[in-house]
Structure 1
Amino acid sequence: MSNLTVSNSTLALGFILVIIALVIGYWQKLQIDKDIIIGVVRAIIQLTIVGYILKFVIKANDVWLTMAFFVVIVINASWNAGKRGNGIPKAFQFSLLAISVGTIVTLGTLVWTGSIQFIPEQIVPFTGMIASNIMVAIGLCYRNMKQSFTDRHQQILEKLALGADIKLASEDIIRESIKSGMQPTIDSIKTLGLVALPGMMSGLIIAGVDPVKAIKYQIMVTFMLLASTSIGSFISCYLAYKQFYNEQKQLNSHLLS
């Protein structure tokens, strides 16, 4: 196993790296000093709390505690994804459904195939990885959808005037929005091993796992993230596009800006 350790003293010395970011921000007058400090403080507090909670959950090895942690992660991811909906009605509900389905299907497949076991030290981290990636994908979907409806509202009006239903009038936007949600995952896949050594693989190697075995885990994670982001993007887009129309199948002008 690896002898890598991070003590409180070495962690404190590592704060030098944060100071470098602060110096660059101050030097270039980026006005992000406050954001950096708040972000770092929040990260330390949040990770510390989560670390102790995870320690308790893993030690307890209780199914209900594991499921409770799963629910907390999914709801939190859905809440953040919903906020990125930027005024889209029911964005939280749509995000919750998309993230729940994407996470359950992906985790269920991994457990069913024997890739992971239904134990907290595996279920909780994988849930976090899956839900966070779907959250980011949904945020991109919402942003692209809102911008596209704004830019193409005249084209949509023309399609509706010619007799198209709202699904047909929105089809191109839906497809592009799904693609925008999936694209970052697809792009990252292309550079795996050449540019990026992802967190799962790097963490296992640092922990002393054979790199060949670590690669297998990373390939599995790649499959997992690709499936989950596609499911989440698909569900959220096909639910959200209807919110851009009213009951009379007219564009909601207040959502377009």
Structure 2
Amino acid sequence: MDWAWLGEFLKGMIKPTAALAVVAMAIFLSYLQKLGLEAEMAYSIFRAFLQLSIIGFVLQFIFNQKNAVWIVMAYLFMVSIAGYTAGQRAKHIPRGKYVAGVSILAGTSITMVMLVVLSVFPFTPRYIIPVAGMMVGNAMTVTGVTMKKLRDDIKIQMSLVETALALGATPRQATLQQVKRALVIALSPVLDNAKTVGLISLPGAMTGLIMGGASPLEAIQLQIVVMNMLIGASTVSSIMSTYLCWPSFFTKAYQLETKVFSSDSS
């Protein structure tokens, strides 16, 4: 058996290991300030090392495969984890994990298909999996915030919503302002990031290309594509989540489902 790959891997881990000095500094400062985060910091960085090492080998395996099934499986795995995580943020919404998962799947798959059809990216693991990971991660954050904010706003303004319902408004009409507010708040960080990209910080994709030897002009071309796809996927996912949340907030008689809003929102 050829173990040369293991030697190359261990050699490549010298610099990441040396960078642990920065974490040691953070742990030391936490100890001095009595923050009590030392164990959590150590556990977090150990988990990051382990997870990234494992995923590195998994991606290496997938990149060497010619079958598109592996791309789909990796993508669905990311969506499943993202849906569960976003659903945890909105844990008081019935079937929240399902709503989040379907919303993330819809937003990212539609965006990905468009990019492939337009020949922006080839349908290969080396392109699709990293791109999908960026989209799924952003869609996960936006979807979780949208669902939680929408539920919390309706809970705070239950009297206004009930008044609108009593006057003959449909559930969609009665909660239109709350939906708009939730979407604006959830999408604002993505839009603000697009406005300031390159001015305040250099994003990961752009930085990785430059450090890998690509020219800055090539790097910004990819980063523009990344920003476009993140806005598209996040917008579709967040809007989809509001449509899927509505049935959980109301009874068949068009009344607020009080059980959804009776528990604490924290």
Normalising by the smaller structure, the TM-score range is over 0.9
Q: What does the per-residue CA deviation read over 1:156-196, in whole Å, with 9 as the maximum and x for residues that have no partner?
A: 12212222121111111111111222111001011111101
Aligned residue type for 2:203: P
Aligned residue for 2:260? 255
The aligned amino acid for 2:177 is: D
How far did residue 35 of structure 1 move? 2.4
**Contact 1:145/1:174, CA 8 A, preserved across alignment:** yes
Deviation at 1:28, TM superposition (A): 2.4
Match of 1:27 in 2: 32
- Indicate the residue corresponding to 1:235 in structure 2: 240
Residue type of the partner of 1:190?
A: K
- The answer to whether residue 56 in structure 2 is matched with residue 47 in structure 1 is no
The worse-fitting range, judged by mean Cα deviation, of 177-186 and 246-255 is 246-255
Distance (whole Å) between structure 1 residues aligned to residue 16 and residue 227 of structure 2? 30
The match for 1:217 is 222
| TM-score, normalised via structure 1 length | 0.93
Which stretches of structure 1, 4 residues or longer, exceed 6 Å deviation after superposition?
none
Counterparts of 1:51-90 in structure 2 under 5 Å? 51-90=56-95
Contact 1:145 1:241 in 2 (8 A): no
Structure 2 spans left out of the alignment, 5+ residues: 1-10
| 8 Å contact kept, 2:94–2:260 | no
State whether residues 79 and 92 of structure 1, in contact with CA within 8 Å, keep that contact through their aligned partners in structure 2. yes
Q: Which residue of 2 aligns with 1:200?
A: 205
Q: Is 1:127 the counterpart of 2:129 in the alignment?
A: no
Per-residue CA deviations over 1:104-126 (Å, capped at 9, x if unaligned) read 11111111111110010101101
The separation in 1 between residues aligned to 2:177 and 2:247, in whole angstroms, is: 14
Q: Is the 8 A contact 2:104 2:136 kept in 1?
A: yes
Cα distance in 1 for partners of 2:68, 2:56 equals 19
Structure 2 CA distance, aligned partners of 1:10 and 1:75?
32
Q: Paired residue for 1:101?
A: 106
Root-mean-square deviation (Å): 1.4
Look up the match of 2:41.
Answer: 36
Asked if 1:146 is matched to 2:146, the reply is: no
Shift of residue 7, structure 1, vs aligned partner: 3.0
TM-score (norm 2): 0.90
Of 117, 121, 126, the match for 2:122:
117
Distance 2:181 2:234 in 1: 14
Contact 1:170 1:241 in 2 (8 A): no
**Other-structure match for 1:3:** none
SS, match of residue 190 in structure 2: helix
Residue aligning to 1:137? 142
Structure 2 CA distance, aligned partners of 1:223 and 1:181?
17
Is the alpha carbon distance of 1:26 and 1:249 closer, same or farther for their aligned partners in structure 2, counting shifts above 3 Å? farther
d(CA) in 1 for partners of 2:26 and 2:233?
33
Gaps of 5+ in 1: 1-5
Q: Match for residue 168 of structure 1? A: 173
Deviation at 1:247, TM superposition (A): 2.6
- The alpha-carbon deviation at position 151 of structure 1 amounts to 1.2
How many aligned residue pairs are there?
Answer: 252
Which of 10, 32, 43 is the equivalent residue of 2:15?
Answer: 10
**Among candidates 189, 192, 206, match of residue 184 of structure 1:** 189
Alpha carbons of 1:122 and 1:178: their partners in 2 closer, same or farther (altered >3 Å)? same
Deviation at 1:220, TM superposition (A): 0.5
Deviation at 1:246, TM superposition (A): 2.2
**Is the CA contact 2:100–2:144 (under 8 Å) kept in the aligned structure 1?**
no
